[in-house]
Structure 1
């Protein structure tokens, strides 16, 4: 066990595929700390209920040292003069949501006039989904989007079940609920890939980071090792996810967890830098259109210098056996 406790708040259960592996794989012990993870907007045994609007204040108050998420509010805080929020790392730069549908939707343009469930109104999900459909030639104004305000741990399964019950023709869900849906008679429609700041985006209070720079670097090294563990130790990763994630999201079939690990493994970046197109994507989804905050530039809230310190030390290249082996996954340029 480590001699320090680091508390991390995750904005959604979908972040916890990496989060649980990070916490349970032993990588934090190697770097001298224990990792406590809590999930916002979810009723999880052993943790307090944390509402979405409490995330930012709790990080700034020091209740949590790091947060995964908060993709838009940081710009609003900075525009109001509070410059404490900072992004440090980004594990994934491509969108991983899938569209599952009934047989009446044979292609994306068939969605016109149909009800489509979107399990969250977050711009990085709903905004990208609308954008992807528009790029594919769908008249999004003709689609009946049923945007659910509730979230929680089982929302993706409930969305699939609603489609199966005839309450909608399609639903946008995250992995592994694409496989969960196809095993029950639905099919997956291909969506255009999108570069996006998504899932595990590491955010913190800059004042705290400056006071705890070595712990911040240790935390980033553990994140990098958790990603490496996820990629290179698939069976142990699946066992962790089966034990800790599957019961919360409503997955019983180990093959669904195997699908999750196989899908996420190549999507995670060995060097968790943000991609510039992904930053632009998340910025233009929300901040660019808001004249209360769009005078803040897209890069103002990013500081990858601590990650660069870890990278320049050779830590990541040594882990993967060379810089070429630690190259980032390709990001599609469609924005």
Structure 2
């Protein structure tokens, strides 16, 4: 069997369809099917149960797929070792970034990074945390920037900075007169939240788990953007929480409505995350160094309390 054949097996296992797997591997469907059949004949077993729709792995097929992932990763590592030895920092690098980080952090470091490392072809995707974890585990991302800790067994986390939560309080709200607020001041029933699937939303829910709330009559307006939440708050529909970097670009008339928390300030931990096999570690380290160089001037908070982004069951 060959590495290419194992990659075909992994593609079918992921997409559960021979035609789609062939498209992703840039080969014809008959070619892919024939190569997988050769492996099955060589091993005298069936990797896939073709009678089911979608196609399913057999019990032995699942074990083979698990081992194939290790073999393909180790094969990729050989080229990675050679590039590290030569001091080469280049090639394709797939990076995922969660939506609540992308618009603020990316403009801060991207220009510096591509100027310093012109041989790297950076492919960036905006993805939620669940999508990032899945793609990292399946080898479809090299690294990602997300809120942590995630406590994923196969993923390594390298913290970049700690970003405080900041409250946005409209002028007619009872807490507008306060210079600073406390977590106890929050009422979950009136906080405008991002849509389900955003880890920043889960961080707010975790932050407010012991605050005043009425879970039975909980009223929420959920949106995909902070801009919408701010406008809704200005209409008197509640308050909201924002990540600190997002507040830097607000209009001056909106900044007067911001209220920081008393220390220790609740904050989210932002990390560069990547598979523990550390493939392309030279590019990962270049990315980490570049971001650290531009972010240290923008984030100066030290006394913070990290709020988990993992949704509580």
Scaled by the length of structure 2, what TM-score is found? 0.54
RCO comparison, higher one (Cα < 8 Å, 6+): 1
Pairing 1:282–2:308 present: yes
Partners of 2:119 and 2:105 in 1: CA distance: 19
Q: CA deviation at 1:73?
A: 5.4
Partners of 1:65 and 1:187 in 2: CA distance: 39
Match of 2:193 among 101, 118, 140: 118
5+ long unaligned stretches in structure 1: 42-51, 79-83, 233-263, 270-274, 291-335
Q: Which residue of 1 aligns with 2:58?
A: none
5+ long unaligned stretches in structure 2: 1-88
Equivalence map 1:32-43=2 (5 Å): 32-40=119-127
Partners of 1:184 and 1:277 in 2: CA distance: 26
Q: Which residue of 2 aligns with 1:159?
A: 229
Pairing 1:180–2:250 present: yes
The CA deviation string for residues 77-99 of structure 1, in whole angstroms up to 9 with x for no partner, is x4xxxxx3222x11112424333
Match of 2:220 among 137, 143, 146: 146
Q: Is the 8 A contact 1:67 1:203 kept in 2?
A: yes
Q: CA deviation at 1:39?
A: 0.9
The CA deviation string for residues 161-186 of structure 1, in whole angstroms up to 9 with x for no partner, is 112223x1312223434763661596
* RMSD, aligned CA: 4.1
Q: Is the 8 A contact 1:156 1:173 kept in 2?
A: yes
Q: CA deviation at 1:21?
A: 3.0
Higher strand share: 2
Q: Which residue of 2 aligns with 1:206?
A: 276
The alignment partner of 1:266 has SS state of coil
Pairing 1:266–2:292 present: no
TM-aligned CA distance change 1:69 to 1:194, over 3 Å: same
Q: Number of aligned residue pairs: give it.
A: 217
Scaled by the length of structure 1, what TM-score is found? 0.51
Q: Is the 8 A contact 1:100 1:173 kept in 2?
A: no
Partners of 1:112 and 1:93 in 2: CA distance: 24
Q: CA deviation at 1:191?
A: 2.0
Q: Which residue of 2 aligns with 1:56?
A: 133
Q: Is the 8 A contact 1:27 1:226 kept in 2?
A: no
